[in-house]
Amino acid sequence: MSEVLTQAEIDELLKALDGGEFNIQEIQSANDEKRVKNHDFRRPSKFSKEHLRALRSIHENYARLATNFLTAYLRTLTQVDVVEIESLAYTDFISSISDPAILAIANFLPLEGNIIFEISTDIAFALIDRLLGGKGVASGKKRNFTEIEIVLIEKIIIQLLNIIKEPWKDIMPIHPSLERIETSAQFVQLYSPNEIVALITFNVKINDTEGMFNICIPYITVEPIILKLSSKYWFSSFEKQTDEKLKEIVASEIEKTNVPVSVILGKTNITVKDLIDLQTGDVLLLDNNVNSELNILVGNLIKFRGKPGIKKNKIGVKITSVIKKGDE
């Protein structure tokens, strides 16, 4: 409770204000200055908050798919989660990478340009260890990757690229493919230093080993479809998916619905007196003969015609024709 002012302290403050020792306007302007953020006009932010939110939604879905794939592929518990999505300059991304590294350069067809998959050394070595029969533990020592180790990592990256098609399909059908893998950031100078990129950071956990996994998407690559990375587009897309899903649910429920099916053997007219006099053993003559086709009703509508018969000691009707609308 030491942060609470006493009445004496409050009185002293009021006295100081009255005496002109404090300038309220100066205090307010100082607070306003704190709220002002520096803006570098040489590096304008091309990705809006809305764009980044859309990318988060896409890659949270991707993280779930990657979790399922890696758990099955490695046959051990694996968890992938989106940690952060930010917009930054390409040079900031490259300068943050320490060698050796796993940097997979992939195209993003039909969009132009390349995206970059960066896998931390801890996760890379854990993946390699698991694929070679280990428990999925990183070596803890920094060393260069062997050719065999890069081949093993390449197989996983190809599968991770195939998985990314699914969460992107509502924005645009993409067909990414791996072009090459580099182990040093100095060989990945694909764009100008000031080019703006979106960096999606994932946390990957393989048993007790944790590490980071990044996807770098340059703005110029997604610029042709940037308008689709908006809440308006997502809402309309969601509505479309909801309508289609609703149709599927209704169709599925209709298919399970039981409907009454009946067969009319024939009709006849009798007097009320004959009706009263009917007894067991009496025979009613119908308007159909033995070889006539019978009307088969679904509900109250005639939908088929057929002929009576016996199958497996049960009376049945073989459908001979389908009644189309207007043929009744």
Whether 170 maps to a domain, the answer reads yes
Structural domain containing residue 229: 49-235
Examine the pLDDT at 247 and tell me if it is beyond 80: no
Q: What pLDDT is stored for residue 236 in this prediction? A: 59
**Domain check: are 132 and 231 in the same one?**
yes
Distances (CA, A) of 135 to 125, 130, 202: 11, 5, 21
Which pLDDT belongs to residue 234?
57
Contact 140, 57 (CB under 8 A): no
CATH number of 122's domain: 3.40.1550.10
Q: Which of 196, 218, 235 is the last residue of a domain?
A: 235
Q: What is the mean pLDDT of residues 248-271?
A: 78
By percentage, how much of the chain surpasses pLDDT 90?
35
Shared-domain flag, residues 128 and 207:
yes
Q: What is the pLDDT of residues 136-168, one digit of tens each?
A: 887 777 788 999 999 999 999 999 999 999 999
> In this structure, are 220 and 308 located in the same domain?
no
The pLDDT, as a whole number, for residue 1 is 44
Listing DSSP states for 277-315 in one string gives: H--TT--PPPSS-TTPPEEEEETTEEEEEEEEEEETTEE
From 184, 217, 235, the end of a domain falls on 235
Is residue 129 a contact partner of residue 141, using CB atoms and an 8 Å limit?
Answer: no
Q: Count the domains in the chain.
A: 2
On average, the pLDDT of the chain sits at: 83
Cβ neighbourhood burial of 241 (10 Å; 0-12, 13-18, 19+): exposed
Q: What is the mean pLDDT of residues 214-226?
A: 92
- Are 231 and 302 found together in one domain? no
B/e letters for 251-284, b = 16+ CB within 10 Å, e = fewer, are eeeeeeeeeeeeeeeeeeeeeeeeeeeeeeeeee
